Amino acid sequence: MSDTKDLGRIIGIDGPIIKVKGLKNPKIGDLIKIGEDHRIGEIVKIYGNIAISQCYDYTEGLKVDDIVENTNMPLSLELGPGLLNKLFDGIQRPLEEIGDFIELGKELFPLSRKKKWNFIPLKRKKDYIKEGDIIGEVEETKIIKHKIMVPIGYEGEIVSIEEGSFTILDNICTLKDKNNNLKSFQLLQKWPIRFARPIKEYIAITEPLITGQRVIDLLFPVAKGGTVAIPGGFGTGKTVLQHNLSKYCNANIVIYIGCGERGNELTDILNQFPKLMDPYSHEPLMERTVIIGNTSNMPVSAREASIFSGLTIAEYYRDMGFDVCLLADSTSRWAEALRELSARLEELPAEGGFPAYFSSKLSSFYERAGVIKPIGAPERIGSLTIIGAVSPPSGDFSEPVTKTTKRFVHAFWGLDPKLAYSRHYPAINWTNSYSMYDEYVFGWWEKNISNKWREYRKECIKILYISDELQNIVQLVGLESLPINQKLLINIANLIKNSFLIQSAFDDIDAFSSPLKTIKIIEIILNLYKRAEKLIDKIPIFKIMQLDVIENIERAKSTIKNEELDKFNELINKMEMQFNELEQQYRDIIETQKRELKI
């Protein structure tokens, strides 16, 4: 046994919880290597000379007295070029290389040690640099120029920096610090996953994160830097919605964390994503994506690590000045893992059996979202948007995880089993969902897309709400007893649901609705409503709803492509024409009636 290593021995094993005795200097958060095959663990508690750790690998085969080594380092991630286009597990082992089964103890490097990257310096010899300064770039993928930032703890005058082809371990820059010591750094940096990266300041949220989902972009918008929860029972469409967001949102970088859901969902991603194109850059979607996969058949302790690993990678890209969107499916599986571990640690449970610190853990997750100026020069702005799915057992939103999550998010897209059952997807319920970002993002919409965004949004919500209330009356007294203006409103609400809100993820044309297309569809429906309102005294509603332009409007979402929006003008003309014809017909009828009466 070597003297330099800090070694101890296993004295107890309870599932993923390992008790270790004999470590010289254990600290909370230290990374330990357990057993002959170096399974990864983290110290979570210390009692006297006993350290309690959670193991991120399976613990089968470990036994009392097995050796444990404390690395005396916190669990850290490797950050540098090569993260994009990759699939990792919760502690950043590359999954493609591991295959379906994690080979225990095999040391796999998250980032390739061999691949060479072309480094282009943006600084010169004698320049004075500080932590967070951008000193150069590497083209990581066709769409992303990876900014190389001075690691935390480095400051001084550049002694050497050169353009060239480097591996992530080669020195790319050497500086002389204030004590005249030479220090070099590489493309590769490490960062402890439990700590947020430092920032200069938070700044105001102003821009929407465009999702290409109409119900979101118009009714319940999310802002860049915002926080959203997607609660929904089994089968209500959380995963499909999260996949859609990662495909179509207009973030520069997407971090997708598959946390404890079914294994085949990750397989779906792996099959689909490499074939998909980014709708903005028309390059492969994976070029802006990092996937972290912890399926339900991996050890529960790794779920929390996957959440914080995802955050760390997200913040790293945010600090380069990118808009990053982090999606986690699902945070309930993380909460369940915490509950299981807490029970094994014999902690006192709070509501629902979850540990009392669950709420502060959850807030420490969502509070890392925001629009920020990172430290370092040049000054830049980056954002991190966090969107977490929640899977409440039997879809009950009053259970602890959903309830607690609600306290920390500013938008809530409640998925409704009734809508899902009637195949109304995305099944976002318009009565219990909300977004507090409308006031922040309407300026962007009105400046860039349409100055009617807020008006249409209000109108649309109003129609849906009133229609829901009327439906209750209809159930009691029947549709026929409603006044005509209310009958029309119900018809329009149905049109909004079928032609605007419902959006199939599997329709090539409709899966992504550009902001302008979203506006065009709602615009034509609301115009139709206005036009019809003026006529319902004279013309029966069914005549209006039978105009064949209505069928064209219903099909517009899946017949008119984002690139051919002028077809909406044709549709508007057609609508005008058909209304005029209808009016004319009725004028003629009335005229004839009048004449007949006179005779």
Q: Can you give the binding site for ligand ADP, defined by CB under 6 A?
A: 232, 234-240, 425-426, 504-506
3-state secondary structure of 332: helix
Q: Are 31 and 71 in contact (CB under 8 A)?
A: yes
Q: Are 42 and 75 in contact (CB under 8 A)?
A: yes
At its nearest, how many Å lie between ligand ADP and the CB of residue 401?
15
At its nearest, how many Å lie between ligand ADP and the CB of residue 379?
39
Q: Which of 442, 439, 438, 485 is nearest to 466 (CA)?
A: 485
Compute how many other C-beta atoms are within 10 angstroms of the C-beta atom of residue 384: 27
Residue closer to ligand ADP by CB (options 199, 219) is 219
3-state secondary structure of 449: coil
Q: Judged by CB under 5 A, how many residues of this single chain contact Mg ion?
A: 2
**Using a CB cutoff of 8 Å and minimum separation of 24, what contacts does 149-155 make?**
149/189, 149/319, 149/320, 149/376, 150/185, 150/376, 151/185, 151/189, 152/198, 154/129, 154/130, 154/183, 154/185, 155/129, 155/130, 155/131
Decide which of ligand ADP, Mg ion, none touches 234; Cβ closer than 5 to 8 Å per partner kind.
ligand ADP
Decide which of ligand ADP, Mg ion, none touches 425; Cβ closer than 5 to 8 Å per partner kind.
ligand ADP
Among the listed ranges 107-115, 122-130, 236-244, 304-312, the one in contact with Mg ion (CB under 5 A) is 236-244
Decide which of ligand ADP, Mg ion, none touches 232; Cβ closer than 5 to 8 Å per partner kind.
ligand ADP
At its nearest, how many Å lie between Mg ion and the CB of residue 273?
16
Residue closer to ligand ADP by CB (options 62, 386) is 386
Q: What is the DSSP string of 16-58?
A: TEEEEE--SS--TTEEEEETTTTEEEEEEEEETTEEEEEESS-
Decide which of ligand ADP, Mg ion, none touches 195; Cβ closer than 5 to 8 Å per partner kind.
none
At its nearest, how many Å lie between ligand ADP and the CB of residue 509?
13
Among the listed ranges 235-243, 282-290, 404-412, 437-445, the one in contact with Mg ion (CB under 5 A) is 235-243
At its nearest, how many Å lie between Mg ion and the CB of residue 261?
5
Residue closer to ligand ADP by CB (options 323, 329) is 329
Residue closer to ligand ADP by CB (options 213, 312) is 213
Kindly calculate the radius of gyration of the chain based on its CA atoms and give it in whole angstroms.
Answer: 29
DSSP state of 207: -
Query: If 0-12 CB within 10 Å is exposed, 13-18 middle and 19+ buried, where does residue 476 land?
Result: exposed
At its nearest, how many Å lie between ligand ADP and the CB of residue 392?
11
Q: Are 30 and 42 in contact (CB under 8 A)?
A: yes
Residue closer to ligand ADP by CB (options 101, 506) is 506
- The pattern of x and - marking residues 184 through 223 that bind Mg ion according to CB under 5 A reads ----------------------------------------
Closest residue to Mg ion, based on beta-carbon distance: 239
Kindly list the strands in the beta sheet with 156-161, ordered across the sheet, starting from the edge strand earlier in the chain. 128-129, 156-161, 171-176, 182-186
At its nearest, how many Å lie between ligand ADP and the CB of residue 236?
4
Residue closer to ligand ADP by CB (options 505, 536) is 505
Q: Which of 66, 144, 80 is nearest to 110 (CA)?
A: 80
> Is residue 239 involved in binding Mg ion (CB under 5 A)?
yes
The H or E element spanning position 511 is none
Among the listed ranges 96-104, 184-192, 237-245, 571-579, the one in contact with Mg ion (CB under 5 A) is 237-245
At its nearest, how many Å lie between ligand ADP and the CB of residue 422?
12
Residue closer to ligand ADP by CB (options 411, 420) is 420
Decide which of Mg ion, ligand ADP, none touches 141; Cβ closer than 5 to 8 Å per partner kind.
none
At its nearest, how many Å lie between ligand ADP and the CB of residue 238?
4
Decide which of ligand ADP, Mg ion, none touches 376; Cβ closer than 5 to 8 Å per partner kind.
none
Decide which of Mg ion, ligand ADP, none touches 450; Cβ closer than 5 to 8 Å per partner kind.
none
Contacts of 451 (CB under 8 A, 6+ apart): none
Q: Are 323 and 251 in contact (CB under 8 A)?
A: yes
At its nearest, how many Å lie between ligand ADP and the CB of residue 514?
17
At its nearest, how many Å lie between ligand ADP and the CB of residue 234?
5
The rounded distance, in Å, linking the Cα atoms of 338 and 324 is 26
The H or E element spanning position 254 is strand 253-259
3-state secondary structure of 512: coil
Decide which of ligand ADP, Mg ion, none touches 54; Cβ closer than 5 to 8 Å per partner kind.
none
Kindly state the tokens that stand for 233.
């029972």
Residue closer to ligand ADP by CB (options 250, 504) is 504
Among the listed ranges 47-55, 68-76, 233-241, 498-506, the one in contact with Mg ion (CB under 5 A) is 233-241
The rounded distance, in Å, linking the Cα atoms of 499 and 492 is 10
DSSP state of 451: T
Residue closer to ligand ADP by CB (options 415, 553) is 415
The rounded distance, in Å, linking the Cα atoms of 415 and 223 is 20
At its nearest, how many Å lie between Mg ion and the CB of residue 500?
25
3-state secondary structure of 139: strand
Residue closer to Mg ion by CB (options 273, 317) is 273
Decide which of ligand ADP, Mg ion, none touches 293; Cβ closer than 5 to 8 Å per partner kind.
none
Residue closer to ligand ADP by CB (options 240, 291) is 240
Note the residues at the interface with Mg ion (CB under 5 A): 238-239
